[in-house]
A = this chain, B = another copy of it.
Amino acid sequence: MRASRLPFPKFFRGTAMSPEQGAFRALADPTRREILKHLSRSDMTIAEVADLFDVTRGAIKKHLVILEQGQLISVEAKGRERLNRLRPHGLKAATDWLSYFDRFWDDKLAALGQVIDAANSTKKDNDNE
């Protein structure tokens, strides 16, 4: 029977996802990333979003639900329609997570990061985390 087709993955039914988990899950799909770019220009109903892609409204609706679960958009009932609006602060969860690695990919920042590390722990880098 597979307890089939429940609306949420197990790890999200009942408890909350970490903010960066929701954000990264939502960002993993290219269609959803495109939707975000469109919503950054203007709020849109489901039908308006669906018109921009080659998939059905149902598929777009599912993408929007995942974006909403990831706190990347908010949805406002507006008469018969529902307006999807970018919630840009949600992306900050992903940006913040990634910022940990800034020192590693930017050579200029790397030098700075090492200076800061040295200053913060003049003895050694023990167990960070």
Q: Which residues of A contact B (CB under 8 A)?
A: 18, 20-21, 24-25, 27-28, 30, 33, 36-37, 40-42, 86, 88-92, 94-95, 97-98, 100-102, 104-106, 127-129
19 contacts between A and B (CB under 8 A): A18-B30, A20-B33, A24-B27, A25-B28, A27-B28, A37-B100, A40-B104, A41-B127, A41-B128, A42-B129, A89-B105, A91-B98, A91-B101, A91-B104, A94-B94, A94-B98, A95-B95, A95-B98, A95-B102
The residue in chain B whose Cβ has the minimal distance to the Cβ of A42 is B128
Q: How many copies does the complex hold?
A: 2
Are A105 and B128 CB-contacts (below 8 A) given A25-B28, A28-B24? no
List, in ascending order, chain B residues with CB within 8 A of A100's CB.
Answer: 37, 40
CA A13 to CA B36, docked complex, whole Å: 27
CA A23 to CA B86, docked complex, whole Å: 22
CA A97 to CA B105, docked complex, whole Å: 15
CA A105 to CA B100, docked complex, whole Å: 19
List, in ascending order, chain B residues with CB within 8 A of A36's CB.
Answer: 101
CA A86 to CA B94, docked complex, whole Å: 19
CA A101 to CA B92, docked complex, whole Å: 9
List, in ascending order, chain B residues with CB within 8 A of A42's CB.
Answer: 128-129
